[in-house]
Chain A
Amino acid sequence: MSYSVTDPSPLSRWIAGVTVVLYAMITLLPLLWIIATGFKSPEDSIAYPPKVIFEPSLEGYVNLFTTRTRISEEEQATPPPAETWYERIAREQGQSIAGPSRYGERFVNSVIIGFGSTFLCMVLGTAAAYAFSRFRVPLRDDLMFFILSTRMMPPIAVAIPIFLMFRQLGLNDTHLGMILLYTAVNLSLSVWLLKGFIDEIPVEYEEAALIDGYTRFQAFTKVVLPQAATGIASTAIFCLIFAWNEYAFAVLLTSGTAQTAPPFIPTIIGVGGKDWPAVAAGATIFLVPVMVFTILLRKHLLRGITFGAVRK
């Protein structure tokens, strides 16, 4: 196949540039607003007209990670010396830090469940996609359709049966339960996406490896997997984003030990008035892992776009 490539004219470059910048502003503005709110004082966060320039404060982050008690008038008169910077910030609000909040645990839960289900989904998805792509699986097309059909309704439609099932199995509010659930929901997507990527890899490579003295499994790991890296990376990002952001099942099925960050963040609002800076701080920190994961894998994503450019 051949392509004719012409350099874009200055005008079209300019239009493209402006479009990209505008789009970036529209999508990034709410994000920037959340990040900014995390560094505001509670008064600034609800000021009207909204404050763009403000005096930064770490109050939101301190409130996010701590539980505090109000200190009485006499104690305020003769305060014990504030030993740390976060204790000092709490004192300025007339509060004293009583202990850590549960945000840290919830965040760790999100990491375990999000990455755990993504990993499991990749292992199962790649294996299933490879089998569907390469072997004469009986009823292949019907099975592929069945797998897709699990995605034809919103997952939350089966919330009640899943809730009952989990209760019977003792999976309510467990990490294992949530990992299995998110893996089950994401698996159809990952099988379909990965099958597409593996179909693109010519079977001759594996046949060459088989003749070069490798077993089928070794040919898979040494020849197919490196070439499917692009597809695996982009599929993993999709799976992680779903599991990471999922809210409805998390509210329904977790309450304590396995609760993820999304259902926890809104509960911050209830503690001592509407503490928007703490909510914003929670949301900001919550965004970081997915951003880092995507940035780490972006090399593969870019390669995915140019993948079709080589001669077949």
Chain B
Amino acid sequence: MAEVTLSGVTVRYGTTTALDALDLHVPDGAFMVLLGPTGAGKTTTLRAVSGLTRPDAGEVRIGGQEVTGLTPAQRNVAMVFQQYSLYPHLTVRENLEFPLKSPLLRTPRDAMAQKVTRVAETLQIAHKLDNKATALSGGEMQRVSIGRALVRDPVAYLMDEPLSSLDAKLRADLRIELKSIQADSGATILYVTHDQIEAMTMATHVGVLDEGRLVQTGTPREIYEDPVSIYAASRLGLPRINILPADLFGTAPPGARSIGLRPEQIRQGEGQDARVTRVERLGDQTRLHLNFRDHDIVTVTDPHTALRRGDVVAIAPHRPFFFAADGARIRA
């Protein structure tokens, strides 16, 4: 396993700039999750590390060694794609053996069988080994796809939304599985997702990307509790952070344009009155949609709340975030 470092990496597709002089450091053994909306450059970052995309500028280092000009095979990284890209003309077993048979590894036959069996058991696909890859369900295909990365001992794993096409139960299982594989093997993983639960539960590090630039890195808690901007604050948290005019609740620090309130930053039962417009019962939590001085606020309340539409509840901000006009955080 090894650390991965990108410095000043720029990738352009025609006139659009996918990565804009990106600097990113993934420490050895880290599970780094990249967050950002579509087009932020998450997938392009993975492609630049894997070697599928050659950067127009900048350099990529893996384990301290410069690999910018090397082919994907020479970099010895494993990648799980967003769409299950199993080789359709091969069986599940042949798909899992494929990286082991490569000129890079040339694994002996019995070692190969051993590895394939072990990975197939971990991913619960042992009974499907002799099926054609095309005869699997979507979830099974994606597990084989993950398995194809796990049979190797690469210097780093790159995963592009590997769980997004799976159902909730399987996603929960694989989340734990991937996390324990990473913890046991000390693997370096660079992981792209939209799913905040994946980011919060698996990541040791989170990188927030915005239009090809890294705007913040840190642990999931740091990103959540100490975001540098509205953009970074909006990446994590369900329901999303409420962004309101800075002086809505009273005085604001100089230069502040907006106030950011996560549900736990809104105290209920004290302060000024807001009207309940909707109560959303999700089972484990209940969301409260409020209207406060013509602004909509979404927060969370007791699952067994007696509040109903039209009721009035007092709210007050508690250690809120303040942001300047350009979205940057203003620290008190």
Contact = CB atoms under 8 A, between A and B. Distances in A.
A14 to B, nearest CB: 35
Contacts of A202: 83, 85
Interface string B57-101: 000000000000001110011110101010111000000001100
Contacts of A211: 50-52, 72-73, 77-79
Contacts of B88: 205, 227, 310
A50 B134 CA distance: 56
The majority secondary structure among interface residues of chain A is helix
A30 interface: no
Interface in A219-274: 223, 226-227
Contacts of B152: 212
A213 B85 contact: no
A41 B87 CA distance: 58
B73 A214 contact: yes
Contact of B71 (A204, A210, A223, A227): A210
Given A207-B52, A207-B85, A214 B103 contact: yes
B81 A208 contact: yes
B238 interface: no
A211 B89 CA distance: 18
Given A210-B73, A213-B73, A213-B102, A310 B134 contact: yes
Contacts of B170: none
Given A210-B71, A213-B103, A204 B89 contact: no
B98 A209 contact: yes
B325 interface: no
B73 A204 contact: no
A179 B23 CA distance: 57
Contacts of B103: 213-215, 218
B104 A213 contact: yes
A205 B133 CA distance: 13
B52 A210 contact: yes
**Highest count of chain B CB atoms <10 Å: which of A202, A212, A214, A310:** A212
A146 to B, nearest CB: 25
B83 A213 contact: no
B105 A205 contact: no
15 contacts: A202-B85, A205-B85, A208-B87, A209-B87, A209-B98, A210-B52, A210-B71, A211-B72, A213-B103, A213-B104, A214-B103, A215-B73, A218-B102, A226-B89, A310-B134
10 A-B pairs closest in CB distance: A213-B104, A213-B102, A212-B99, A204-B85, A210-B72, A226-B89, A208-B85, A213-B73, A211-B79, A211-B72
